[in-house]
C-alpha cells in the first residue's frame, strides 16, 4: 500500500467520524427521498468497494487474473 493511499483512507475515515452526528440528524431522520438515497449511496459506496477489493485481492474469492493474449 502506498503512503498516499493510506493517508487518503485515514482522512476519509476521519471525515466520516466527524460528520456522523450531523448525518444521523439530517439524513437518517429525514423522509426517504431521491436525494437521501443518492447521498447514502455516494457516501457508503467506497466502503462496499473497499470490502470487495480486499475480498478479491487478499482472499482470492475465486477470481483469477486474466492471462495476456
Whether 16 and 7 have beta carbons less than 8 Å apart is answered as: no
Instruction: Say which residue, 60 or 12, is predicted with more confidence.
Output: 12
What integer pLDDT is reported at residue 62 of this predicted model?
57
43 C-beta neighbours (distance < 10 Å), count: 13
Q: What is the pLDDT of residue 43?
A: 87
Residue spans per domain, the chain: 3-59
What percent of the chain lies above the pLDDT cut of 90?
22
Residue with the three cell numbers 475465486: 62
Q: Pick the residue with more confidence: 56 or 33?
A: 33
**11-32 pLDDT, tens digit each:** 888 888 999 999 899 998 889 9
Q: Give the pLDDT confidence of 42-52 residue by residue, as tens digits.
A: 888 887 877 77
Crossing angle of the two packed helices 34-54 and 3-23, in degrees rounded to 10: 150
Query: Could you identify the residue written with the cell 467520524?
Result: 17
Amino acid at each position: 500500500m502506498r503512503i498516499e493511499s493510506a493517508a487518503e483512507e485515514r482522512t476519509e475515515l476521519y471525515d466520516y467520524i466527524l460528520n456522523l452526528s450531523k448525518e444521523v440528524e439530517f439524513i437518517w431522520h429525514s423522509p426517504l427521498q431521491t436525494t437521501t438515497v443518492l447521498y447514502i449511496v455516494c457516501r457508503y459506496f467506497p466502503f462496499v468497494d473497499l470490502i470487495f477489493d480486499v475480498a478479491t485481492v487478499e482472499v482470492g474469492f475465486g477470481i483469477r487474473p486474466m492471462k495476456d493474449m
